[in-house]
């Protein structure tokens, strides 16, 4: 018979490996998290305690208003005077909220955080200005006698400060938000709780997805570990076949496009909107020009016929993004802005961008789109292409050249360049 677990029935710590306890809090009523996430059944703030022969460590705390539950569970398994080490793997308030009070109750404890966390610590805990701490990175460890905490530097998952902590002797990885999800279940363990696959993937898609490269770097450190259990800061403790979740993270972070078109080809996507077909004609000419360059795969999309979510997926994997919009009342059209304001979940850093469009008299749209793309950290190597009303054959030729030029930059063909004078730059 399956042992039943119900952590909502008591306020005690739960031992899930020898000397390793869950001392977290349940938040079953939460429905929105960090503005950008929803959750159908709340979340948990998982805090952990490790007891070694030479002292006790607390790994992460909880959101401030859940402090009572956290301290009650903690007190059930350790005395404050025994706490020698506090580790914060991530300083977001949902995990650092109870830190000031914990430090007051265990003033002898020493805090371990990542280098990147130091400036955040100060900005979060204004009152406790002279908090003592030690910064740690991969290769560093702290001994609790017969238990050792080893640190893994895993930045940007999903803040600059994030790290993981591994208890070597028990094979337990305290992974922070990595491998976590907003899913509150009093049965605590992945093999006992309900079907949380959706919540797990949803959490990845909204929190980790913009940082796929960093996920891959972190996996290089995590995969070689002997993993018996993964203990994230939200959602179930992954005690049953934890490696499945590591493999799943790798799959989620691997480019699907590279698998289907091959690593060498570069992908360019041209999005456009057009009322009388002028910007559409430009888009086609640009596409034709770009397609003439070997190694560039061009896709052309009319924004009128699409939905945002699949376009976001396409954008994530593209190497160059072109947006075409007519100027309507001094602005680019709304579908362009809708798409350009839906990209917070993907990493655009360093992708090439370009804008184009037909206009009647003032033609602001192209410059505004370029500014937005710069704001999104894209590179704009070629100045946008504007055509007054109906493009002439000559202007369509210019559009072809424009497409070709961007495609050449994309495949790394050097352009003819002399020294530019700063004064000539727009």
Among 252, 380, 401, 411, which residue sits at the site for other proteins (rule: CB under 8 A)?
380
Per rule CB under 5 A, is residue 60 in the interface with Fe ion?
no
What 8-state DSSP symbol labels residue 330?
T
Stretch that binds other proteins, among 48-56, 222-230, 240-248, 374-382 (CB under 8 A): 374-382
Q: Which residues of 119-183 form beta strands (DSSP E)?
A: 133-136, 141-143, 148-153, 163-167, 172-176
Q: If binding means CB under 6 A, how many residues of this protein chain bind ligand FMN?
A: 2
Pairing, β 32-33 against β 14-17: unpaired
Q: Which is nearer to other proteins, 197 or 349 (CB)?
A: 349
**Binding pattern for the stretch 93-122 against other proteins, x by CB under 8 A and - elsewhere:** ----------------------xx-xx---
Smallest Cα–Cα separation from 388: which of 411, 408, 360, 410?
Answer: 360
Stretch that binds other proteins, among 203-211, 240-248, 252-260, 412-420 (CB under 8 A): 412-420
One DSSP character per residue, 225-276 reads: S--SEEEESSS-BB-SSTHHHHHHHHHHHS-HHHHHH-SS-EEEEEEE--SS
Contact positions with Fe ion (CB under 5 A) in 154-193? 177
Indicate the SS3 state at residue 357: strand
Q: Which is nearer to other proteins, 224 or 414 (CB)?
A: 414
Q: Which residues of 154-194 form beta strands (DSSP E)?
A: 163-167, 172-176
Q: Which residues contact 297 (CB under 8 A, 6 or more apart)?
A: 261, 265, 266, 267, 268
Cis before 158 (ω within 30): yes
Smallest Cα–Cα separation from 301: which of 324, 267, 328?
Answer: 324
Q: Which residues contact 192 (CB under 8 A, 6 or more apart)?
A: 2, 4, 5, 185
408 binds, among other proteins, Fe ion, ligand FMN, none (CB under 5 to 8 A by kind): none
Per rule CB under 8 A, is residue 139 in the interface with other proteins?
no
Q: Which is nearer to other proteins, 135 or 308 (CB)?
A: 135
Q: Residue 56, exposed/middle/buried by CB under 10 A (0-12, 13-18, 19+)?
A: buried
Among 18, 34, 54, 191, which residue sits at the site for ligand FMN (rule: CB under 6 A)?
34
Among 60, 92, 370, 408, which residue sits at the site for Fe ion (rule: CB under 5 A)?
92
Among 27, 60, 69, 94, which residue sits at the site for Fe ion (rule: CB under 5 A)?
94
Per rule CB under 8 A, is residue 379 in the interface with other proteins?
yes
Q: How far is the CB of 382 from ligand FMN (least distance, A)?
A: 28
Per the structure block, which two tokens stand in for 36? 């950008």
Q: Which is nearer to ligand FMN, 73 or 95 (CB)?
A: 95
Number of C-alpha atoms within 13 angstroms, CB side, residue 356? 30
Per rule CB under 6 A, is residue 168 in the interface with ligand FMN?
no
Per rule CB under 6 A, is residue 18 in the interface with ligand FMN?
no
380 binds, among Fe ion, other proteins, ligand FMN, none (CB under 5 to 8 A by kind): other proteins
Cα 412–chain centre separation: 28
Stretch that binds Fe ion, among 4-12, 89-97, 130-138, 272-280 (CB under 5 A): 89-97
Number of C-alpha atoms within 13 angstroms, CB side, residue 270? 29
**Binding pattern for the stretch 293-332 against other proteins, x by CB under 8 A and - elsewhere:** ----------------------------------------
34 binds, among other proteins, ligand FMN, Fe ion, none (CB under 5 to 8 A by kind): ligand FMN
In contact, 138 and 155? CB cutoff 8 Å? no
Q: Which is nearer to other proteins, 361 or 422 (CB)?
A: 422
Q: How far is the CB of 27 from ligand FMN (least distance, A)?
A: 16
Per rule CB under 8 A, is residue 420 in the interface with other proteins?
yes
Per rule CB under 8 A, is residue 350 in the interface with other proteins?
yes
In contact, 58 and 47? CB cutoff 8 Å? yes
Q: How far is the CB of 369 from Fe ion (least distance, A)?
A: 32
In contact, 108 and 81? CB cutoff 8 Å? yes
Q: How far is the CB of 134 from other proteins (least distance, A)?
A: 15
Per the structure block, which two tokens stand in for 418? 């002399």
Q: How far apart are CA 369 and CA 80, in angstroms?
A: 56
> Residue for token digits 């602005």?
331
- Using CB under 6 A as the criterion, which residues of the chain lie in contact with ligand FMN when the complex forms? 34, 36
- Using CB under 8 A as the criterion, which residues of the chain lie in contact with other proteins when the complex forms? 115-116, 118-119, 349-350, 374, 377, 379-382, 414-415, 417, 419-422, 425-426
- Using CB under 5 A as the criterion, which residues of the chain lie in contact with Fe ion when the complex forms? 92, 94, 177
């Amino acid at each position: 018979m399956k042992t039943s677990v119900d952590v909502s029935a008591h306020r005690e710590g739960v031992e899930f490996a020898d000397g390793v306890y869950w001392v977290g809090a349940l938040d079953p009523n939460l429905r929105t998290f960090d503005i950008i996430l929803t959750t159908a059944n709340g979340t948990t703030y998982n805090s952990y305690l490790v007891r070694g022969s030479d002292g006790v460590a607390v790994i992460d705390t909880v959101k401030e208003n859940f402090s009572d539950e956290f301290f009650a569970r903690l007190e059930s398994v350790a005395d404050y005077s025994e706490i020698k080490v506090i580790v914060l793997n991530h300083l977001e308030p949902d995990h650092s909220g109870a830190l000031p009070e914990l430090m007051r109750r265990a003033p002898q404890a020493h805090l371990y955080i990542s280098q990147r966390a130091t400036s955040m610590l100060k900005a979060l805990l204004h009152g406790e200005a002279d908090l003592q701490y030690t910064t740690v990175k991969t290769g560093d460890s702290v001994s609790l006698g017969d238990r050792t905490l080893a640190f893994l530097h895993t930045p940007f998952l999903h803040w600059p400060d994030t790290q993981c902590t591994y208890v070597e002797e028990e094979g337990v990885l305290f992974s922070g938000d990595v491998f976590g999800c907003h899913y509150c279940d009093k049965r605590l363990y992945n093999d006992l709780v309900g079907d949380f696959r959706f919540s797990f993937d949803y959490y990845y898609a909204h929190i980790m997805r913009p940082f796929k490269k960093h996920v891959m770097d972190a996996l290089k450190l995590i995969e070689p570990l002997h993993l018996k259990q993964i203990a994230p800061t939200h959602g179930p403790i992954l005690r049953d076949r934890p490696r499945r979740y590591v493999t799943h993270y790798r799959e989620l972070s691997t480019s699907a496009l590279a698998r289907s078109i091959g690593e060498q080809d570069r992908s360019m996507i041209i999005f456009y909107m057009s009322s009388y077909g002028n910007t559409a004609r430009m888009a086609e000419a640009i596409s034709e020009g770009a397609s003439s360059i070997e190694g560039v795969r061009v896709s052309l999309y009319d924004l009128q016929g699409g939905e945002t979510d699949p376009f976001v997926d396409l954008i994530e994997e593209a190497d160059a993004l072109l947006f075409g919009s007519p100027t309507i009342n001094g602005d680019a059209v709304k579908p362009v802005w809708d798409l350009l304001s839906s990209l917070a979940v993907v990493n655009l850093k360093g992708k090439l961008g370009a804008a184009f469009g037909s206009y009647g008299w003032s033609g602001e749209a192209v410059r505004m789109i370029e500014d937005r793309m710069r704001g999104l950290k894209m590179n704009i190597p070629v100045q946008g292409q504007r055509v007054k009303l109906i493009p002439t054959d000559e202007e369509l030729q210019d559009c072809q050249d424009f497409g070709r030029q961007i495609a050449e930059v994309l495949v790394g063909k050097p352009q003819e360049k002399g020294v530019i004078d700063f004064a000539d730059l727009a």
